[in-house]
Amino acid sequence: MGVLDASTSPPKERYAVSKDNIIKLIQPGNVDDQLTEILRNGARALLAQAVEAEVADFLGKHADLKTADGHQRVVRHGHLPEREVMTGIGPVAVRQPRVRDREADATDPDRIRFSPSILPPYMRRSKSIETLLPILYLKGISTGDFSEALAALLGKDAAGLSASAIGRLKDGWRDEHTAWQKRDLSAKRYVYIWADGIHLEARLEDEKQCILVLIGATPEGRKELVGFTDGARESAQDWRDLLLDLKRRGLDVPPRLAIADGAFGFWKAAGEVWPKTREQRCWVHKTANVLAKLPKSQQPKAKRALQEIWMAETKAAAELAFDAFIESYTPKYEKAADCLSKDRDTLLAFYDFPAEHWKHLRTTNPIESTFATVRHRTIRSKGSLSNRTALAMVFKLLEAAQKSWRRLDGHNQLPKLVLGVTFNDGIEVIAKPTDRQPITAAA
């Protein structure tokens, strides 16, 4: 086959191309985004206002202090050198005001010091970036590729985290996780516990390809990370080790209710360590399991029938809807009916708890939603993480996520559960006073 030569091409195939028609493509890493620049400028201005307001408030609190010659004791003293803080929209330049105590020198322990909360002295990155780093690590980004990854996400000026800096961060996170694992739990109590085994995209070193997670609800209605470890989802031994470790560190009072999917390992361990704790199966997992045993043509109708069970106003109504489902699907789809019927009692346990809590108790969503960005049940990244490093990364993600967890609806009902008050169809059962015996007159 010959090579096409423009000089021998017929006239009708020749085209005139002017330089005016050449479009210069933006190269990776050199993105000139006006919107991002506007956002950075806005962030810089707002940050400057915030730090100035914080300094003004600090000076106002010490306005009554005077020096020996009657002058203001605590005053502004210029600015610290400008520095850049890495944020979710790239680097933002800031200048922190200085504050001076005129009555004391730098070595005086009684010197009035200004400790900024918005811009701590050694802060170099925002919390959003610190959350992003563990996600990238668990997604399979190696330490040496972090600068390139951040530059792609945040712009060319964001590549400020070297491999050594990432290494130091990881060491710090591992130390924080180790300290958290040893914390005293003797003052803690959890009314509800959600449990789940989360598979990560990251491949762990050994056969333990799962992160076992426990989240609890305190009597005040706040959700807290209770414990987590590496393990196998179906392993009763791994779950038992986790529950016993919590007990050894002081968590002696068992929860009133545990919520989890049908993983046999957790329920076996919980039955041994917390024998008095009620069980609630996750309706999201159960629905998926039942529908998987039906042909696609039957799934929409079956899903509506399942919703009629767990959305019923009373347990009696739920029982009727339950019976109706079993009756309808047993003749042709016995496996789907059996999958539902075998967990009947544990699927309806939530009716014995406050109605305000039902939406929290019917699913393991507190754990599912937290791990939505990093979990994947089938695909694994190439290479592997040490289990200790993976757990430290997960700890940092959970630590960040915990700050945004909402309190339970109806949290005022939780102390009643602690005191042993019973509920029927979500309504508090009021104990009737014992009938008084009539007083007989003395003879």
Reported as a single tens digit per residue, the pLDDT across 290-349 is 999 999 999 999 999 999 999 999 999 999 999 999 999 999 999 999 999 999 999 999
Q: Is 237 helix (H, G, I), strand (E, B) or coil?
A: helix
pLDDT band, residue 208 (cuts 50/70/90)? low
When computed from its CA atoms, the radius of gyration of the chain, rounded to whole angstroms, is 31
Whole-angstrom distance, CA of residue 373 vs CA of residue 391: 16
Looking at the domain assignment, is residue 20 inside a domain? no
Listed in sequence order, the residues at least 6 apart from 4 whose beta carbon sits closer than 8 Å to its beta carbon are: none
**Largest alpha-carbon pair distance within the chain?**
138
List the structure tokens of 55: 């300094």
Whether 300 is covered by a domain: the verdict is yes
The total of structural domains in the chain comes to 1
Helices and strands, number each (H, E), in the chain? 15, 11
Residue 425: is its pLDDT beyond 80?
yes
Confidence of residue 161 (pLDDT cuts 50, 70, 90): low
> Residue 330 is part of which domain span?
192-419
Six-digit token pair at 80? 């610290």
Find out whether 246 and 226 touch, Cβ atoms under 8 Å: yes
Residue whose structure tokens are 């049940």: 377
Render pLDDT for 75-105 as a digit per residue (tens, 0 to 9).
Answer: 887 777 776 665 544 566 667 777 888 877 7
Q: Tell which phi-psi region holds residue 84, choosing left (phi > 0), alpha (psi between -120 and 50) or beta.
A: beta
Out of 51-55, 112-116, 212-216, give the one with best mean pLDDT.
Answer: 212-216
What mean pLDDT is predicted for residues 54-75? 83
In a domain, 372, yes or no: yes
Smallest Cα–Cα separation from 402: which of 256, 218, 274, 277? 218
| 224, 218 Cβ separation under 8 angstroms | yes
**Does residue 152 fall inside a structural domain?**
no
Please name which of 375, 394, 331, 400 lies closest in space to residue 174, comparing C-alpha atoms: 394
Domain assignment present for residue 70? The answer is no
Residue 255 domain-assigned (yes or no): yes
Nearest CA among 207, 209, 189, 191 for reference residue 199: 209
Residue 6: pLDDT over 50:
no
User: If we measure between CA atoms, which residue out of 147, 197, 39, 134 comes closest to residue 399?
Assistant: 134
For the chain, first and last CA: distance in Å? 132
Encoded tokens for 372: 């939505």
* pLDDT tens sequence across 217-255: 999 999 999 998 888 767 899 999 999 999 999 999 999
pLDDT digits (tens, 9 = 90+) for 292-305: 999 999 999 999 99
Please give the full DSSP string across 78-94, using - where no structure is assigned.
EEPPPEEEEEBTEEEEE
Work out the percent of the chain whose per-residue pLDDT is above 70. 64
pLDDT in tens, 111-129: 887 776 555 555 445 445 5
Q: Is 17 a domain residue?
A: no
Q: How far apart are CA 243 and CA 410, in angstroms?
A: 27
In whole angstroms, give the CA distance from residue 436 to residue 335. 55
The residue count for the chain: 443
Other Cβ atoms closer than 10 A to 410: 17
Residue 268 in this model has a pLDDT that exceeds 80: yes
Q: How many CB atoms lie within 10 A of CB 396?
A: 24
| Residue 31 reports pLDDT greater than 80 | no
SS3 427: strand
Residue pLDDT, tens place only, 167-205? 776 777 788 889 999 999 999 999 999 999 887 655 555
Query: What integer pLDDT is reported at residue 376 of this predicted model?
Result: 44
pTM of the model: 0.66
- Answer yes or no: is 396 within a domain: yes
For residues 411-438, give the mean pLDDT. Answer: 84
Instruction: Give the separation between CA 66 and CA 72, rounded to whole angstroms.
Output: 5
